[in-house]
Structure 1
Amino acid sequence: MTDEKHVHDAFLAVHVPPEVAQKTRERIERLRAEEANTSKPHLVVTQTKRPPRHRSRLIGALAACLIVVALVVSGGFYFLAPAAYVAIDVNPSLELGVNRLGLVSDTQALNADGEAILAQTDVRWMSYEDALNSIKTEMDSYTSSDAVIEITVVCDEQAWSNELADEGMRCFETGNGRVVCSHASSHERTEAHNAGMGIAKWRIYTQLVEAGVAISPEEASEMTMRELYDLAARENVSLSNDTDTTSSGSSEATGAQELRGKHSHSNSKQRGKHHAQ
């Protein structure tokens, strides 16, 4: 008898007790059930992998919303941020930032009296015309018959610049003194601010210094426009202005016409020329 035959006969002689066979079948059934149960989550996981597509669409939608918001904000900034500046120098020196909607969106005091004016009247988000009227009312106590009120417009758009200048003239020419309105560049504005004064005062100050007059930026900033013109006259400094200038009021009240020469004209004759430039 071969070895294989002995093994075969031995297997046939093995009898598994019924209880062992039952437990074995139960064990097999449990294993099958566990396998079935563990395989189901795989199906669920496979199905739940689809939501990332939904999340990607949601993320895309949110990104689009953010882009729209950014455009709205940037567009709002374009219209609300100052696009032109109007400096007013009497002794109070201050500046209005006017946005493209015609509203004063920024104000800046350039000396102590300017701070006092802006503390008394908050003109931010007023229309440019209303802001001018409010400031003029507060400045009436600073102006007399010989006062000089200088309005300087910084704006890259010529037509709008003329409109801002004209509105300033209309507002202040109804009060005391002489109103002088001119235009300036952004560079001049920056230089004036660096010196701590308004543009009109800075222009006279630089010419006084160039002529050898001993005067500090602090002194010039606190002087009235009338005092600066008088100082130039006493020191025989001939003031010049390379920008177009409009003035109104009584010429004998200030002497500004003589000091500025050809750049200062009576209001009635200058309006047409002012727009032509």
Structure 2
Amino acid sequence: MGLPRRPIQAVSTWMRRQPPKVKAFLAVIGGMMALVLLRAIVYDHDNLFIAAEAVHAIGISVLIYKLMKERTCAGLSLKSQELTALFLAVRLYCSFVMEYDIHTLLDMATLVTTLWVIYMIRFNLKSSYMEDKDNLPLYYVAAPCLVLALLIHPTTTHHVINRISWAFCVYLEAVSVLPQLRVMQNTKIVEPFTAHYVFALGVARFLSCAHWVLQVVDTRGRLLVALGYGLWPSMVLLCEIIQTFILADFCYYYVKSVFGGQLVMRLPSGVV
């Protein structure tokens, strides 16, 4: 059993010794290779967005299993769950007034389960909630998103409130995981179910980003025009890329821990 791990450990050791710029370059190359592979094997790239929402739902299901089986919410960020519920609620509103489709149903299911997680943390399992570790103020995350939404939002024919709401949920989704990352940064030890959940978020973010990038490539940029003019189309793509890279470092150490057979994930200094 030790032999298959040696190449992985060698690559991991080599990666760890590289300077940040080299790691970033390798991450970009790896992401581009993954995009090429997805473009080749997925015929309808709109399915990637559905897959992203499905993976997010799976991540929430892992949390529910953790809460029900272990009866503890240690290591979870209530604030990240509240931000997730907020952007899902706003996106549901936008879906109802702008474009009702399958994504609306998926978002509704995810919102219901997220609200259940919030209820469990706030009431049933409050004694195990690490409030002192979950110390990133919500307004640090939500306020800049609202200001940005007021300044840069879609230029469609919908009512301005709906357009601002749409932009707000896009921006908020990109950074909603930051309080959870702060909790893990403060504890340095991530138990398995929390690690599975955050990894699922990372995969979901990448699939969503791949959906947008490949749609732009397939339409040769016409999709950007369909989204409107000004800075908004670029901001949509930028948010997708940002939320992918926010979790990229964590996903690397998660995969490393899984291949190393570690049940509890330990993060080195400087990660997330």
TM range (shorter): under 0.3
More strand by proportion, 1 or 2?
1
Q: Which has the larger radius of gyration?
A: 1
Q: Which has the higher helix share?
A: 2
TM-score by length of 1: 0.26
